Structure 1
Amino acid sequence: MITVRISFEKKNEASYISLLDLQRVMQRVLKRSGLPVWHTLGFNPHIYMTFACPLSLGQESECECVDIKTEAENPDFAQWQTELNAIMPTGIRITHVDPVQMKADLIAFACYQITYPAAAAAVLEQYNALESAPVEKHSKKGKKIVELKDHIPQVEYTTAGDRVCMELCLPAAQELNLNPSLLTGFLEEKFGLPAASAGILRKRFLTANRQLFA
């Protein structure tokens, strides 16, 4: 049995598909495709699927992936990509299909591109001038205070037209996973910069030694 990684982009209106709905979408698309994917055993068999680092609602991504299994011999993964893209909903595009090389638990960082209206540059400079930026992080284990300056000491940005753009790499491991919404929420609470005006795009995952996850 081969474990297969289906990598895909999730953009535009698809960014508002929740993880639960995305699981349903993938189940239906894979069933409709007729591809030889493996189903779990038991009373209620379903397609085995594992998603890496679920994406927050409203955020876009170029590096999403779901792992499935197949018992097919010598599968044509280029054909898989073509057949899946033909029936994917708008906003989801399969970028490649390959046998799994790295386990998902090797992901240590997620890199994001965040854009704001150009006027946000003044607020970013105010953030850079701060010595401390504590935020409250919510998780299944409860609430805790995270110091943003430990992970984002300075934000470097560029201006293009009427937008400012910054690149951030944040922890995305099981021990610590920081969402860029912690920063956008802090900027709104501290300086009044609306978090809704930020565009968040996840670009890639990295391992602990900063190697590109694939």
Structure 2
Amino acid sequence: MTTVRIFFEKRGESAYISLLDLQRVFHRLLKISNLPVWYTQGFNPHIYLSFSCPLSLGQESLCESCEVKTEQETIDGAAWQAALQPLMPRGITITKVAPAEHKVGEIASAAYRITMPLASAAVLDAYNEASVAEVTKKTKRGHKTLDLKEYLPCITYEQDGEQLHFVIQLPCGSGEALNLNPSLLMEHLHAQGGAPAWQCQVLRTHLYTQEGADFT
């Protein structure tokens, strides 16, 4: 059994497809494609499909991925990509299909490119000058207070016309691993007088392993 990882971009209006709907889309399109994906055994067989650290609704990404299994020993990634891309919803672009190299549990952090209106510059400066930036993270066990400054001591931004751009790297993982959603930062900045989420853009650009390598 071979684990096949399908990498894709999620841009524009497709950022508003929820994880549950995205799972339904991929299940349906994998069936239509007639690719040799493996089905679970039992009374109600279905395609084994798992997504790697899915995004929050409204966030875009250059590095999303999901994995399926196949009994084929050799994978023609180009053929899989050619079969899937014409079926994809607008905004989802298949970038690569290949045998999985890393396990999802190896993901340790993610990089995001944030775009905000120019008027938020003062709030970013205030964040950099502050000694603490406490936020409340909702977990399965309740609510937990975290200090964003422990993970993001300083935000270095650049101005581009009427917009500001900056890149941040936050812990990202599955299971019991710490996973900090950039929305925590955006909500904190908004509470301090920054732009609301609908005026900002969050684009995930990389997923990294514990060794700092790109997740593949």
Q: TM-score range by the shorter chain?
A: over 0.9
Q: Does 1:182 align with 2:179?
A: no
Cα deviations by residue, 1:88-108 (Å, 9 ceiling, x for unpaired):
010111000000111111000
Identity %: 50
Matches within 5 A, 1:1-214: 1-173=1-173, 174-214=176-216
Q: Deviation of residue 163 (structure 1)?
A: 1.2
Provide Cα deviations, 1:20-75, integer angstroms capped at 9, x if missing partner.
00000000110010111000111111100111101100000010000100112423
Query: Which runs of no fewer than 5 residues in structure 1 stay unpaired?
Result: none
When normalised by structure 1's length, the TM-score is 0.97
Q: How many corresponding residue pairs? A: 214
TM-score, structure 2 as length reference: 0.96
Judge conservation of contact 2:119–2:194 (CA < 8 Å) in 1.
Answer: no
For residue 152 of structure 1, report the CA deviation from its aligned partner. 0.9
CA contact (8 A) 1:187 1:195 kept: no
Give a deviation string over 1:101-124, Cα, whole Å, max 9, x none: 111110000110000012211211
Q: Deviations over 1:119-159 (max 9, x none)?
A: 21121111111111100000212100010110111101111
Residues in 2 aligned to 1:97 and 1:192: alpha-carbon distance in whole angstroms: 39
Distance 2:153 2:74 in 1: 48
Q: 1:196, CA displacement in angstroms?
A: 2.1
Structure 1 distance, partners of 2:197, 2:74, is: 47
Q: CA RMSD in A?
A: 1.0
